[in-house]
Amino acid sequence: MEEAAKTAKESLDLAFHISNILGTGLDRHTLSVLIALCDMGLNPEALAAVVKELQTEPCPLPPTPTVPSSVP
């Protein structure tokens, strides 16, 4: 089991290095999730399209905290 974990880490390290060379902007966690989804049988081209779409959308602003009004 230890060897499998080492191999998985090395594979992720290599994929992350390639991702950085290609300038994908993906962090290690996101890349590992995408690899896991591919391993589960999801279409890699469809995943790539979703990632591209999400990267082009503007980030939503975080919700503004509401301050409770004081009751007189």
**For 6-36, how does the pLDDT look when each residue is reduced to its tens digit (9 = 90+)?**
999 999 999 999 999 999 999 999 999 999 9
The model's pTM is: 0.71
Q: Say if residue 61's pLDDT is above 80.
A: no
Between CA 18 and CA 36 the distance in angstroms is 17
The residues near 35 (Cβ < 8 Å, ≥ 6 apart) are: 12, 15
What are the residue ranges spanned by the domains of the chain?
2-55
The residues near 38 (Cβ < 8 Å, ≥ 6 apart) are: 44, 47
